[in-house]
């Protein structure tokens, strides 16, 4: 493991050196809204926020989307629809993609006006490994590739740019050779996303709550491993944009009552966010992160951004 860490450390150094002379860019921190469009969310969106994600097409989420695009016409908005369904490895992946669209995505999208549809930059599909086989084996990755290749085409045919993948933090799992094999199996879906003007997504949480790139290369910065693999096997994907459609602090197994950032202080989280923002700015293919979450503390209190909304709005205002 230490040998692999050293390898990725070298990659990080070279990446940093490569982009050290690039001009400063705006903050890449945004927010993931759930359930309610809160006072804190309104402040953050008003403060030069460049990327958001909304869950579902409820009136409050659509109001947030509308405000965001009025204030930031060039900002990036991602939509995910909650979909409580499960497909299995023995199911036909292309047929599942059509079933997923027809039963779960289309019913929530069909009532959007043409103007509302135009506000959505990217449409996500399944969430992490909640709905489908995905990253536990190469065979699952191949299934997931066929599923997403078909779903991406369906989305594009209906006027949406696909955001494929939604990889959970720490995925694909395994040592570097296994990670490489699984990601290579998914490359056709990524090429399809690029062909259709889409993007892909990873959930960039820190589990160890560190600012050490040699640790975070396995967690919040794991996406850098993916682009290192592209450099060897799919250089045409080096400019495929990635959106970190969840991010922040998550449970490392030792904090079951407070899995999110509240397991420590506000100041520690703010300090980590500054560091993570600076790291993302080194990677031009990263559109940004939508921090999880704001609007639904009943279910996600330990992750809730409302207590730091004023600080985050101020930070975004100064960082842009």
pLDDT for position 8 = 40
User: Could you tell me what percent of the chain has a pLDDT over 70?
Assistant: 92
The CA-CA-CA angle for residues 166, 169, 171, to 5°, reads 80
Summarize pLDDT for 262-284 with one digit per residue, the tens. 999 999 999 999 999 999 999 99
Pair 159, 182: CB distance under 8 Å: no
Q: Between 3.60.15.10, 1.20.1070.10, 3.40.190.10, 3.20.20.70, what CATH number should domain 26-319 receive?
A: 3.20.20.70
241 conformational bin, left if phi > 0, alpha if psi -120 to 50, beta if neither: beta
Between helix 309-319 and helix 266-281 the angle, nearest 10°, is 30
Beta-strand ranges (E) seen in 45-189 are 51-55, 76-80, 122-124, 162-167
The pTM for the full model equals 0.91
Please state, in angstroms and rounded to a whole number, the distance separating the CA atoms of residues 231 and 229: 5
| 275-282 CB contacts, 8 Å cutoff, 24+ apart | 275/211, 276/29, 276/204, 276/206, 276/220, 276/247, 277/27, 277/28, 277/29, 277/319, 279/213, 279/216, 279/220, 279/221, 280/28, 280/244, 281/19, 281/24, 281/25, 281/28, 282/15, 282/16, 282/19
Residues of the chain with pLDDT under 50: 1-24
How far separated are the first and last CA of the chain, in Å rounded? 39
The pLDDT score that the predictor gives to residue 25 is 56
């Amino acid at each position: 493991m230490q040998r692999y860490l050293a390898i990725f450390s070298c990659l990080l150094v070279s990446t940093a050196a490569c982009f050290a002379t690039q001009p400063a860019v705006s903050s890449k921190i945004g927010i993931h809204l759930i359930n309610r469009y809160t006072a804190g969310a309104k402040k953050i969106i008003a403060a030069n926020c460049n990327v958001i994600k909304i869950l579902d097409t409820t009136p409050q989420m659509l109001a947030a989307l509308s405000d965001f695009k009025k204030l930031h016409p060039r900002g990036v908005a991602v939509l995910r629809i909650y979909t409580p369904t499960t497909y299995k490895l023995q199911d036909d992946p292309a047929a599942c993609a059509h079933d997923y669209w027809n039963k779960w995505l289309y019913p929530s999208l069909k009532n959007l006006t043409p103007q509302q549809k135009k506000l959505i930059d990217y449409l996500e599909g399944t969430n992490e490994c909640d709905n489908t086989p995905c990253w536990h084996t190469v065979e699952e990755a191949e299934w997931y590739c066929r599923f997403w290749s078909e779903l991406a085409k369906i989305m594009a045919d209906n006027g949406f740019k696909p955001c494929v993948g939604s990889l959970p933090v720490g995925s694909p799992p395994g040592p570097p050779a296994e990670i490489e094999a699984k990601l290579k199996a998914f490359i056709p879906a990524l090429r399809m996303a690029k062909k259709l003007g889409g993007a892909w997504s990873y959930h960039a949480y820190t589990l160890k709550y560190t600012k050490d790139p040699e640790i975070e290369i396995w967690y919040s910065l794991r996406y850098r491993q993916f682009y290192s693999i592209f450099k060897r096997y799919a250089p045409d994907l080096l400019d495929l944009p990635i959106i970190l459609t969840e991010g922040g602090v998550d449970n490392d197994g030792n904090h079951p009552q407070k899995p999110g950032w509240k397991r420590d202080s506000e100041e520690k989280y703010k300090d980590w966010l500054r560091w993570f923002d600076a790291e993302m700015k080194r990677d031009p293919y990263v559109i940004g992160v939508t921090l999880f979450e704001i609007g639904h503390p009943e279910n996600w209190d330990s992750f809730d951004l409302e207590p730091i909304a004023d600080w985050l709005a101020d930070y975004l205002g100064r960082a842009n």
